[in-house]
Amino acid sequence: MGRETSTNPTRRIAWAASLAQKAQGPLLKDHLRYFRHEPKSAALHCFLLDCSASMMSGERLAMAKGLVLACFDRAAMDRSQAALICFGGGRADLRFGPAIPRWWNERWVQPIGGGGGTSFSIGVAAAAKLLDEARRRNPAGERVLWVFGDGRSRDRPAKPVAADRVVIVDCEQGALALGRWARLAREWNADYCLAKALTVPA
| Domains in the chain, CATH or no CATH each | 40-197 (3.40.50.410)
Q: Are strands 44-50 and 191-194 parallel, antiparallel or unpaired?
A: unpaired
pLDDT band (50, 70, 90) for residue 8: very low
Whether the predicted pLDDT of 200 surpasses 60: no
Q: How far is residue 54's CA from residue 105's CA, in Å, rounded to a whole number?
A: 25
Q: Supply the pLDDT for residue 110.
A: 62
Q: What is the pLDDT of residue 154?
A: 76
Q: Does residue 42 carry a pLDDT above 70?
A: yes
Query: What is the structure's pLDDT at 114?
Result: 65
**Mean pLDDT to the nearest integer, 133-160:** 89
Name beta bridge partners: 83. 46
pTM of the predicted model, to two decimals? Answer: 0.75
Q: Quick one: DSSP state of residue 183?
A: H
Q: What is the pLDDT of residue 158?
A: 93
**What is the pLDDT averaged over residues 66-74?**
85
Query: Per this entry, what is the length of the chain?
Result: 202
CB 85 within 8 A of CB 123: yes
Which of the 8 DSSP states describes residue 11? S
The answer to whether 170 touches 19, Cβ cutoff 8 Å, is no
For residues 192-197, average pLDDT: 81
Q: Which amino acid would we find at residue 9?
A: P
Amino acid at the residue 1: M
Give percent of the chain with pLDDT exceeding 90.
Answer: 28
Sheet containing 165-170, strands listed edge to edge, beginning at the edge strand earlier in sequence: 91-99, 81-88, 44-50, 143-149, 165-170, 191-194
Task: Compute the distance between CA of residue 14 and CA of residue 137 in angstroms, rounded to an integer.
Answer: 22
Say if residue 102's pLDDT is above 90: no
Closest listed residue to residue 45, CA positions, set 22, 74, 4: 74
